[in-house]
């Protein structure tokens, strides 16, 4: 079963899903910190605040979204992976190498 983002009139399910996603985001950040993924606190903050699930297919569970794995998001007609969301640890490492400062923007484009 995929993520529940909206349902009840009062939005309880949406709030519950958002809260659960925030918990899983924090757990992933802690896992990445154990691997020394964050030297720049701005990158750690970005990983804590930007919802990865907004960039992935809605049928994925939050538990799958918040693993330290690359996630295939598109396949060719013959079933071969053709697009993916990068592994979070790799994303953090790439962002660290860029030596980002406040106000800078990044667009990741895969070429593999």
Torsion of CA 60, 55, 82, 110, to 10 degrees: -150
- CATH number, domain 12-97, options 3.40.50.2020, 3.40.1350.10, 3.40.50.150, 1.10.260.40: 3.40.50.150
* Coil, helix or strand at residue 19: helix
- Cα distances from 25 to residues 47, 65, 77, 103, in angstroms, run 7, 9, 33, 23
Domain ranges (residues) in the chain = 12-97
Residue 28 token pair: 């992933």
**pLDDT of residue 11 exceeding 90:** no
* Coil, helix or strand at residue 73: strand
pLDDT the model gives residue 14: 79
pLDDT band at 7 (very low <50, low <70, confident <90, very high): very low
Span 80-110, pLDDT tens digits: 999 999 999 999 999 999 998 889 998 888 7
Task: Answer whether 38's CB lies under 8 Å from 44's CB.
Answer: yes
pLDDT the model gives residue 75: 92
**Residues forming the active site:** 86
């Amino acid at each position: 079963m995929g993520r529940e983002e909206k349902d009840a009139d009062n939005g309880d399910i949406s709030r519950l899903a958002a809260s659960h996603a925030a918990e899983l985001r924090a757990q992933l950040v802690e896992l990445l910190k154990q691997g020394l993924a964050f030297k720049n606190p701005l990158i750690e903050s970005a990983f804590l605040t930007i919802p990865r699930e907004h960039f992935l297919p809605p049928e994925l569970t939050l538990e799958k979204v918040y693993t330290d794995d690359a996630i295939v998001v598109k396949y060719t007609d013959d079933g071969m992976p053709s697009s993916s969301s990068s592994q979070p640890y790799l994303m953090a490492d790439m962002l660290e190498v860029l030596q980002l400062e406040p106000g800078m923007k990044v667009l990741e484009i895969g070429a593999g």
